[in-house]
């Protein structure tokens, strides 16, 4: 039986050293890109006066029992018609949103939509809940 002599390695295995270099490079890239927050600029100060005013939206709510509310104020169908006519005279492109309870009769919502059509209110939105999947 021959005993092998221990001889020095002719090559140095650099694979572990390259792995370490790649890991350090990835960490360096991540840290450099995470620390960049943008260019510093001096932002202008806002004035106390609003420069653009949002249009006043009218919210019509139809309760479960068919009760009507205009901007959280209870109204009848006739009062709703009168108030909408007044607001339409002030602002021709009056935006209106309709919020109907899910358990109200469909007829109540159709009556409000018919009224809005008669008053020629075309800026109309129907509020719904986001569908959860």
Residue appearing with tokens 């800026």: 123
Taking a C-beta distance cutoff of 8 angstroms, is the pair 76, 116 a contact? Answer: no
Q: What is the number of domains present in the chain? A: 1
Residue 114 lies in a domain: yes
How far is residue 84's CA from residue 67's CA, in Å, rounded to a whole number? 17
CATH of the domain at 110: 3.30.420
Residue 9 lies in a domain: no
Question: What is the pTM assigned to this prediction?
Answer: 0.56
In order along its 133 residues, the chain shows pLDDT tens digits of: 566 666 676 777 888 889 999 999 999 888 877 665 555 666 667 666 555 555 688 989 998 888 999 988 899 999 999 999 999 998 888 899 898 888 888 898 899 999 999 999 888 888 877 766 6
- Strand ordering across the sheet containing 123-126: 73-75, 68-70, 58-62, 95-100, 123-126
How far is residue 49's CA from residue 70's CA, in Å, rounded to a whole number? 29
Q: Given this model, what pLDDT does residue 102 score?
A: 82
Q: Given this model, what pLDDT does residue 44 score?
A: 67
Residue 108 lies in a domain: yes
């Amino acid at each position: 039986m021959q005993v092998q002599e221990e001889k020095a390695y002719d090559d140095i295995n650099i694979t572990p050293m390259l792995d370490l270099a790649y890991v350090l490079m990835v960490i360096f890239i991540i840290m450099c890109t995470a620390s960049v927050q943008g260019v510093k600029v001096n932002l202008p100060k806002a004035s106390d006066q609003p420069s653009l005013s949002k249009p006043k939206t009218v919210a019509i709510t139809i309760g479960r029992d068919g009760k009507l509310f205009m901007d959280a104020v209870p109204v009848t169908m006739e009062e709703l018609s009168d108030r909408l006519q007044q607001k339409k005279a002030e602002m021709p492109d009056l935006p209106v949103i309709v919020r109907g309870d899910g358990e109200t009769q469909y007829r109540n919502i159709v009556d409000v939509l018919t009224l809005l059509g008669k008053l020629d209110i075309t800026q109309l939105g129907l509020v719904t809940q986001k569908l959860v999947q």
